[in-house]
Structure 1
Amino acid sequence: MFSKIVFWLVLVPIAIIILMFAVANREHVTVSFDPFSAHAPAAAISIPVFVLVFVLVILGIFIGGVASWLRQSAYRRAARQRDAEVNALRREIDALNARLNHQADRAATDNAARLVYRPPAAR
């Protein structure tokens, strides 16, 4: 239910705004990749403005995501180390519990062997 509300109140208006932007900015611009020749560039393309804006926004999101991922590498490394420590401690706890149970079982059988019924002495 909540996802449908978010869809209709947020995503649909954003999609309408994006479509209005694309329709309003259909003019072609020349994007040059030659910094030395402005009049006759060696590498240039002619694309609509809205395509250029969308490509640059997507490129910015990608670069920002990569930068964020690289900045968080120390946190991911620390999380992996903590996870390894927790797993090692769990294995140690399991081994100690098994040893404790084994000792308790052995002590119970030793005590059971000592608890033998002795009939009363005859008078």
Structure 2
Amino acid sequence: MVKKIIALVVLVPLAIVLIVLSVANRQAVTLALNPFRPDDAVLSVTAPFFVFLFLAVIVGLLLGSAVTWLAQGKYRKKARAESRAAVRWQAEADRHKTRAEEIAGRGLPQIPAK
């Protein structure tokens, strides 16, 4: 419930800002990818300005996500190694428990529980 409220508090204002930017920036602009000949039609794209704004936000989100994922790789590797170790320790504990039950079943003296 709290996550939904926080999402609404963040996403609704963000959506309003993006809609206002889209309406305010409808004029067509040309993005020239050739710095030496900006009038080159092959390496230029004409679109409404808000399209370039949205593309910049999307590219930024993707790059940020990729960098974060790569930076957290060492933590994921450590978590995998510790998970494997935990499974090994659990298997060893289960073997010891089984062995203790076998010994107790043979009628050897048991230590009374306090």
For the criterion TM > 0.5, the same-fold answer is yes
Cα distance in 1 for partners of 2:23, 2:11 equals 18
**Equivalent position SS for 2:26:** coil
Q: Quote the RMSD (CA, aligned, Å).
A: 2.0
Question: CA shift at 1:37, angstroms?
Answer: 2.0
2:41 is the alignment partner of 1:66: no
Matches within 5 A, 1:1-123: 1-3=1-3, 5-6=5-6, 8-107=8-107
Q: Deviations over 1:35-85 (max 9, x none)?
A: 442222432110111110111111001001101110111110010000000
- Could you state the TM-score of these two structures normalised by the residue count of structure 1? 0.78
Structure of larger gyration radius: 1
- Give the TM-score normalised by structure 2: 0.83
Identify unmatched segments of 5+ residues in structure 2.
110-114
- After the TM superposition, list the runs of 4 or more consecutive aligned residues in structure 1 that deviate by more than 6 angstroms: none
Q: Percent identical across equivalent pairs?
A: 34
**Match of 2:81, SS?**
helix
Summarize the Cα distance change of 1:19–1:73 in structure 2 as closer, same or farther, 3 Å threshold.
same
The gaps in structure 1 that reach 5 residues or longer are 112-123
Aligned length in residues: 109
| CA displacement, residues 79-103 of structure 1 (integer Å, 9 cap, x when unaligned) | 0000000000000000010011001
